[in-house]
Structure 1
Amino acid sequence: MPLQAAKKLLRLDEAVGSFAVQHDITKVLDGLYVGGRGIADDLLAMQSLAITHVVNCTQDIPCYYDDSLEYLRVPLTDDPDTAIEAHFEIVVKFIRMYNDAREMGQTCLVHCSRGMSRSATFVLVYLVERHDMSVLEALQYTRALRPVISPNVGFMGKLLDLEQRLHQRCSVDLHKYRKDRYAAIEDLVVPSPANDVDEAAIYLNHVARH
């Protein structure tokens, strides 16, 4: 690659990175972003990313541009006891509807206050359900893009409940996660069970602790 072209690409990457930091937003997939408060009130920034639909996962941040964008309000607190699982289906359906329609220029943003727990949980659910990832794989994938992603321990428990229903396994050790939700991915892996009995015991222990 010619030097000038390489420098141009580097400047472009730096500009995109600077934009993401300034506006607190991260691209997860084509047609899907996750973010925090910094992007929620910036219509021009959202329009520059072709965002047309927004999931607002907070109680306090307004849906600033409901005359220009389509919103789904899910008024949650970032509390481990919040029944976030009650909203999994409607949020995934909303994301899927507009993520699948990205060829038509439709893009979805899921945001909360910091883009770390509530919004991240819904994005992880989407990856587990729609892209057949394990919770561990989804967490690893999203953290590589946005390192702050770390659902609170209650939300992680609900993610593992979902994973057990869909895939008959739990890929994240909830006991380790409870001790340190910011731990490295390799430190959160559930040891491979020797047999189905061991796998069942791991899940029963998870349920008992949750």
Structure 2
Amino acid sequence: MVSKCVYLSGIAALTKENLELLGITLIINATYEWPDVHTKMCINIRVPVANSEGDDISVYFDDVSYIINENMRNGGNTVVHSVFGKSRSTTLVLAYLVKYERIALKNAFISVKNIRETARPNVGFWDQLIKYEIKIRGVASVKMLTKKVDGFDIRYPDLYPDTYEALSAEREAQIRDNIKPKSN
């Protein structure tokens, strides 16, 4: 559980038993590729977005946050999911926490990360979350850092520097692998 009545997951956790056990009344499907899970007790909302740095997930922040909040006010529990529960669903939950729980983005992420270790919005979603926090709170609690590697800019949030330094190292390796000359 991320908040009073909000859960974050990947698709593997969306079993009928789990949904019933948690009293889920609203499922937010943050994918374009995965079908909705239909149950008698749940309303399904789809957020058709790809896990791509260029996709604009921010157009859904206000509506999804409002729907989660209304569901909670009506006594319901919400699960927000993407395929793995790492980027898209985490991003939407963070937007909700910033807007309705009035938590700084940095603290919201730390809280979510402590509950769901795999939580990791992509860089483009971080940019959108930071802009959203400025819109809602008037200040950014997270900033993006840039590191130059082999002529490429690697960007990552200033949160958990060790974690993101490791992610940066992974990205550096991917870049190197993609630009290495192929041997015959």
The alignment's TM-score, normalised by the length of structure 2, stands at 0.78
Identify the residue that residue 71 of structure 1 maps to in structure 2.
44
Unaligned runs of 5+ residues in structure 1 are 1-26, 189-210
CA drift of 1:183 comes to 5.7
**Counterpart mapping for 1:123-142 below 5 A:** 123-142=93-112
* Alignment root-mean-square deviation, CA: 2.3
Larger radius of gyration: 1
Look up the match of 1:155.
125
Change (3 A) 1:123 1:176: farther
Report sequence identity in percent: 25
Using the TM superposition, give the Cα deviation of residue 49 of structure 1 relative to its aligned residue in structure 2, in angstroms.
Answer: 1.0
Listed one character per residue, the Cα deviations across residues 47-82 of structure 1 (whole Å, up to 9, x for unaligned) are 111111100011121112155420001111000111
What displacement does 1:180 show? 4.6
User: 141-150 or 57-66, which moves further after superposition?
Assistant: 57-66
Contact 1:54–1:71 at 8 Å: present in 2 too?
yes
* Equivalent of 1:85 in 54, 58, 65: 58
Deviation track 1:155-176 (CA, whole Å, cap 9, x = no partner) reads: 0101110111222222112125
Q: Which has the higher helix share?
A: 1
TM-score (norm 1): 0.69
Identify, as 1 or 2, the structure richer in strand. 2
- 2:82 aligns to what? 112
Q: Which runs of 4+ in 1 moved over 2 A?
A: 176-183, 185-188
- Which whole-Å CA distance do the structure 2 matches of 1:55 and 1:187 have between them? 28
After superposition, the Cα gap between the structure-2 partners of 1:38 and 1:171, relative to the gap in structure 1 and judged at 3 Å, is same
Residue 21 of structure 2: aligned partner:
48
- Partners of 2:73 and 2:91 in 1: CA distance: 20
Q: Distance in 2 between matches of 1:173 and 1:130?
A: 21
Offset of residue 179 of structure 1:
4.0
Alignment gaps of 5+ in structure 2: 148-153, 165-184
Using the TM superposition, give the Cα deviation of residue 94 of structure 1 relative to its aligned residue in structure 2, in angstroms. Answer: 1.0
Residues 1:187 and 1:93: Cα distance change in structure 2 (over 3 Å):
same
The one of 24, 29, 41 equivalent to 2:3 is 29
Counterpart residue number, 1:61 = 34
Aligned counterpart for 1:145 among listed residues 80, 91, 115 = 115
CA distance in 2, matches of 1:71, 1:175: 37
1-side partners of 2:62 and 2:53: how far apart? 19
Structure 2 residue corresponding to 1:38, chosen from 12, 23, 27: 12
